[in-house]
């Protein structure tokens, strides 16, 4: 059997040895007895024309080229696709993805660092390079209420350098919320003004009303176990104010020096 090369008859053996194209893949001559494939001035045996990545035969399949390599469409897409920051596999075109701070994830790979569940469409928070769903972030990083020990996710009250939920910071007597209201502390317990007056406060020896320390009755006079509002600490007879003055005690009464000396 003869073939022509440059117009001259050549036997198959000599054509293969001296004239045939070399296969890009295996570097052996491509005999006239085998099928030859060519692309952009390069030649392959039919069985050598395969994807450079997965080795899939491409003689009858669509293909692309990248850096002089022949690849199937799928592998070429992977080559150009961004890499998932979770599984480090390629993110193919059309796949649902999440992009955050310049990095990409498959939708199912973008998971909470706490519960390991996919974020989906829910909101999330970050701590350094980690991301957390809101419940896990609150559980791990949020301040905890001094009363119930649960995370404080919003708002709250600070009292004596301790955080509280607004609904946990309540009067020790009636459980009325104290956030935004006047209150006072007695023996490490907090009371609203009304409960402090009725349950805790001493009674003025003069007017018999509670001594709260609020408003007009801020200043208090104490004498031999009894207490007075400063404005109630008056002479029993002439009503002279005895605050910061000398006085005389007569039983449960107090008298100014003049009234006391008349006895």
Q: What pLDDT is attached to residue 131? A: 92
What per-residue confidence (pLDDT) applies to 17?
A: 62
Q: At 177, phi and psi to the nearest 5?
A: -60, 135
122 near 134, Cβ under 8 Å?
A: yes
> What is the predicted pLDDT for the residue at 117?
92
- From the list 141, 145, 183, 138, the residue with the least C-alpha distance to 164 is 145
DSSP 129-145: TEEEEHHHHHHHHS-B-
DSSP state of 209: S
Predicted confidence at residue 170, as pLDDT, reads 92
Q: What is the pLDDT of residue 15?
A: 53
Please indicate, yes or no, whether the overall pTM of this predicted structure exceeds 0.75: no
Tell me, what's the pLDDT at 102?
82
Q: Is the Cβ–Cβ distance between 169 and 177 less than 8 Å? A: yes
CA distance 119 to 73: 31
What's the Rg (C-alpha) of the chain? Answer: 46
In terms of Cα–Cα distance, which of 149, 121, 147, 153 is closest to 135? 153
Determine which helix (DSSP H) or strand (DSSP E) holds 14, and give its type and residue range.
Answer: helix 12-14
In this prediction, residue 2 carries a pLDDT of: 46
For each of the chain's 263 residues, which pLDDT tens digit applies?
A: 544 555 555 555 665 566 688 888 888 887 777 888 988 888 888 899 999 888 899 888 888 887 788 888 778 777 767 788 888 888 776 778 888 888 888 999 999 999 999 988 888 988 888 899 988 988 888 889 998 988 988 888 998 889 999 999 999 989 999 888 888 888 888 998 888 888 888 888 888 788 776 666 567 788 877 888 888 888 888 888 887 888 888 877 888 888 877 76
């Amino acid at each position: 059997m003869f073939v022509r090369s440059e117009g001259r008859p050549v036997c198959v053996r000599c054509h293969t040895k001296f004239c045939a194209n070399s296969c890009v893949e295996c570097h052996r001559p491509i005999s006239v007895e085998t099928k030859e494939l060519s692309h952009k001035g390069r030649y392959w045996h039919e069985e050598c024309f395969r994807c450079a990545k997965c080795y899939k035969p491409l003689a009858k399949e669509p293909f692309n080229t990248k850096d002089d390599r022949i690849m199937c469409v799928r592998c070429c897409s992977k080559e150009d696709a961004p890499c998932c920051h979770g599984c480090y596999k390629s993110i193919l075109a059309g796949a649902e993805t999440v992009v955050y701070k310049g990095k990409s994830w498959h939708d199912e790979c973008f998971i909470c660092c706490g519960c390991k569940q996919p974020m989906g469409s829910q909101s999330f928070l970050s701590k350094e390079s980690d991301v957390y769903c809101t419940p896990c972030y609150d559980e791990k990083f949020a301040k905890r209420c001094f009363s119930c020990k649960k995370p404080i996710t919003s708002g709250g009250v600070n009292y004596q350098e301790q955080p509280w939920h607004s609904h946990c910071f309540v009067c020790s007597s009636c459980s009325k919320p104290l956030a935004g209201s006047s209150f006072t502390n007695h023996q490490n317990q907090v009371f609203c003004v009304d409960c402090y007056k009725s349950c805790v406060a001493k009674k003025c020896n003069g007017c018999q009303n509670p001594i709260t320390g609020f408003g007009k009755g801020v200043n208090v006079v104490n004498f031999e176990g009894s207490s007075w509002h400063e404005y109630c600490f008056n002479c029993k007879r002439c009503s002279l104010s005895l605050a910061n003055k000398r006085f005389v005690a007569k039983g449960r009464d107090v008298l100014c020096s003049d009234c006391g000396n008349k006895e």
